[in-house]
Amino acid sequence: MVDSIRLELDLLSFLRALKLTEAEVDRAMAKALTRTAFEIRDAEGREVGSVFGFAGASTREFLAGRRAFRVQGATERRLEASIFPAPKTGKILEPHEKGAVIAAGEPGRLTIAKQLATPIALKRTARGRVRRRGKRTFVAGHAVLQRVGKGARSAVRVLFALVPRAKFSPRFDFYRVARETALREWPKKAREEFARVRLR
């Protein structure tokens, strides 16, 4: 997730046509770049959310909400904006971006009965963690089940599927989303910011 997109503007022609100082142009460009970066952040979140549409609300918020991706805005001295996933979100998304095979016993992977525990009906915590087995759980075959309710209304739900390994196919093209969004949003944001400068 370290690709870059270059957005250019003929600075001299702008200075001549709009009669702006170089500082005014840099200020407008920094604002336009930063606003474009926030549009890219939101587009990346929508892309992730569409893939994880089956997940619970808290999991989707963790992986695709506004805090899932961070923006480092541009400044007048550094006309460059960056969008990157929050560290814990990035660890989860990276295997889905590049493709990977994960197995039981690997660091950071939940292993139960020497098998990889794949969450089925669990919500992530605010820190992105999957809660462990919890109360009234038991292993049956290739699953971790939990008893819910009491008496005649009691039931059993699946918390984890237990498998030796899991394969993630590449599912995200973050660069494509960023490039398409930048090419669409940058001209609009730049026009708006330069129009504001001219009205002052």
Residue range 136-175, pLDDT digits in tens: 888 888 888 888 888 778 888 888 889 998 888 888 889 9
Taking 90 as the threshold, does the pLDDT of residue 31 lie above it?
yes
Q: What is the pLDDT of residue 161?
A: 87
Q: What does the angle CA 173 – CA 178 – CA 183 come to, to the nearest 5 degrees?
A: 130
105-132 mean pLDDT: 72
CA distance 119 to 189: 41
Whole-prediction pTM: 0.71
Classified as helix, coil or strand, 189 is helix
Give the strand pairing for 143-148 and 69-72: unpaired
- % of the chain beyond a pLDDT of 70: 83
Q: What is the pLDDT of residue 144?
A: 83
CA distance 76 to 100: 40
Confidence of residue 176 (pLDDT cuts 50, 70, 90): very high
Judge whether 167 and 101 are in contact, CB under 8 Å: yes
Question: Does the CA dihedral 59-62-64-66 come out positive or negative?
Answer: positive
Classified as helix, coil or strand, 199 is helix
Place of tokens 């944001």: 189
CA distance 34 to 89: 22
Q: What is the pLDDT of residue 98?
A: 84
Range from 49-58, 103-112, 168-177 that averages highest in pLDDT: 168-177
Neighbours of 145 (CB within 10 A): 18
Q: What is the mean pLDDT of the chain?
A: 83
Neighbours of 77 (CB within 10 A): 7
Q: What is the pLDDT of residue 78?
A: 94
Helices (H), the chain: 11-18, 22-51, 57-64, 87-98, 174-199
User: Burial of 80 by CB count in 10 Å (0-12 exposed, 13-18 middle, 19+ buried)?
Assistant: middle
Neighbours of 92 (CB within 10 A): 19
Taking 90 as the threshold, does the pLDDT of residue 182 lie above it?
yes
Q: pLDDT: is 20 or 177 the higher one? A: 177
CA distance 90 to 71: 14
Taking 70 as the threshold, does the pLDDT of residue 122 lie above it?
no
Q: pLDDT: is 9 or 98 the higher one? A: 98
Taking 60 as the threshold, does the pLDDT of residue 15 lie above it?
no
Give, in order, the Cα–Cα distances in Å from 68 to each of 52, 58, 98, 157: 13, 12, 18, 29
Least confident piece of the model among 30-34, 37-41, 44-48: 44-48
Taking 60 as the threshold, does the pLDDT of residue 23 lie above it?
yes
